[in-house]
Chains A and B, each alone.
Chain A
Amino acid sequence: MRIRATLRSGRIEVRVLIAHPMETGLRKDEAGNPIPAWYITDVTARVNDRIVMKTAWGTAVSKDPLLVFHVLGGAVGDRVTVDWIDNRGDRRTDEATVVAPASP
């Protein structure tokens, strides 16, 4: 996962890029065999251990998806944690620290 958390206009903008095949279960591989569905079902985000966002996904979310959300308030230095679980039960967690926007 690549998490960018930036404090902008009183909100933490969180941009999460997740590496995941997000297979629909409808595709076939080069040999013609069906590729089983394999996709993230739930993503949860916390700021300093407080849950701020939950999202449930279906297979229509893109492969290697981007998710962007905005937490009200917040401060530079806050810790943003994102975790996901997929339909196989695999999970990942990652975190990032809130930073100020880069100077233009």
Chain B
Amino acid sequence: MPHVSRRRRRAILNRGLGIALGVAARAGLGAIGLGVRDADAQEAPDRDAFAARSVADALARLRILDVADSPDVLLDAPDIAENGAVVPVSVRSRIAHTDAIFVLLDRNPFPLAARVDILDGLAPDVALRVKMAETAAVIAIVRADGRYWRAQRDVKITIGGCGG
């Protein structure tokens, strides 16, 4: 591939090559070096990403530059939560070499809820309970071989009865 500035490469990928890249990646295209992750590995705690006030900002702070939807990221959450204080979310990745899972909540004051490090011997299959301020999307992002894959679902938040 001819030399392409990082920003331009990101733009190309964002315009939809991401899906194709996703398919290719699963076929093991990592060797070609089209790695979209910042070469400085994100082993830092990413604590500042938890302070981000929007999903976009959280992803920027995590240096997650390109994410593609993947049907192999299995995100489960209820369609309606009777109370937004407890929304059960589970994420399972069928993508080989998954080494991290991120859970974000769109429209939350602090959208990044959790990062799980999938260490050796841990299944990429986790569940936790999150608080949602309002009806919004739950977003699961997994990292595998330096690439990011995403699934999301909407959860409707209701207010019960006489207001609590």
Judged by CB atoms under 8 Å, the answer to whether A and B touch is yes
B8 within 8 A of A: no
**Contact in complex: B125, A70 (CB < 8 Å):** yes
Give B58 Cβ to nearest chain A Cβ, in Å. Answer: 9
* Segment 29-82 of A: residues with Cβ below 8 Å from B: 41-42, 47, 50-63, 65-73
Q: How many residues of B contact A (CB 8 A)?
A: 34
**Contact in complex: B119, A69 (CB < 8 Å):** no
Query: Do A58 and B119 contact each other (CB < 8 Å), given the known contacts A63-B85, A68-B127?
Result: no
**Contact in complex: B129, A52 (CB < 8 Å):** no
A97 within 8 A of B: no
**Contact in complex: A61, B131 (CB < 8 Å):** yes
Give A3 Cβ to nearest chain B Cβ, in Å. Answer: 15
* Segment 92-141 of B: residues with Cβ below 8 Å from A: 105, 108-119, 121-123, 125-132
Query: Do A68 and B126 contact each other (CB < 8 Å), given the known contacts A26-B109, A60-B108?
Result: yes
B148 within 8 A of A: no
**Contact in complex: B122, A56 (CB < 8 Å):** no
Query: Do A24 and B47 contact each other (CB < 8 Å), given the known contacts A52-B119, A54-B119, A68-B128?
Result: no
Most buried by B among A26, A50, A60, A61: A60
**Contact in complex: A69, B115 (CB < 8 Å):** no
A4 within 8 A of B: no
**Contact in complex: B90, A56 (CB < 8 Å):** no
Please measure, in the bound complex, the distance between the C-alpha atom of A63 and the C-alpha atom of B112, giving whole angstroms.
Answer: 16
Please measure, in the bound complex, the distance between the C-alpha atom of A15 and the C-alpha atom of B118, giving whole angstroms.
Answer: 16
* Segment 66-94 of B: residues with Cβ below 8 Å from A: 85-88, 90
- What residues of chain B lie closer than 8 Å to A42, measured between beta carbons? 45
Give B99 Cβ to nearest chain A Cβ, in Å. Answer: 11
**Contact in complex: B114, A59 (CB < 8 Å):** no
Give A32 Cβ to nearest chain B Cβ, in Å. Answer: 17
- What residues of chain A lie closer than 8 Å to B38, measured between beta carbons? none
Residues of chain B touching chain A, judged by Cβ–Cβ distance below 8 Å, are 45-47, 50-51, 85-88, 90, 105, 108-119, 121-123, 125-132
A-B contacts, 27 listed (Cβ < 8 Å) = A50-B121, A52-B119, A53-B117, A54-B116, A55-B117, A56-B46, A56-B114, A57-B113, A59-B50, A59-B109, A59-B110, A60-B112, A60-B114, A60-B130, A61-B113, A61-B129, A61-B131, A62-B131, A66-B127, A66-B129, A68-B127, A69-B123, A70-B122, A71-B121, A71-B123, A72-B122, A72-B123
